[in-house]
Amino acid sequence: MAILSGSVEADVPIQFADREWSEFVWRSLYGNFAKGFAEYSSSITETDADSGTVKFETEGERLVRVTVEVDYTPRSQSDPQAEVLLAQARLDRDLAKYRDFLVHRCEQEDCRPGRPSA
């Protein structure tokens, strides 16, 4: 078994990041991205992880770090190391998409209290 991990940071409130993580995963699993959000579709269903954790940490009032760690067992008998590398690359890509999704949603909902709108 391999451990895949990655993290992203965004300038959003921690509660917002937590809520939008659930939304992002749900939309990714069910392919239910609204118009204007299709580019955020992830490969979560392709990773097929055994188990994992998502941790939300904050520094100050705004900077949030979302860290994902998953246990992954390669299914391939021929080249398990290549499969692990591919799964890690998908996780990295999906976390980058989540960050973009999170920032876009925050701008839509003006989630940063006390910050002037753009």
Please answer whether residues 112 and 11 qualify as being in contact, where contact means their C-beta atoms are separated by less than 8 angstroms.
yes
Please give the average pLDDT of every successive group of 10 residues along the chain, which has 118 residues.
93 92 79 61 62 88 88 87 91 92 93 63
Residues in the chain: 118
Q: What's the pLDDT at 115?
A: 55
Minimal CA–CA distance to 101: which of 44, 38, 56?
38
Boundaries of every domain in the chain? 2-109
Separation of alpha carbons 91 and 32, rounded Å? 19
Q: Does domain 2-109 have CATH number 3.30.300?
A: yes
Helices marked H in 3-79: 14-30, 44-47
Q: What's the pLDDT at 43?
A: 64
Q: What's the pLDDT at 118?
A: 47
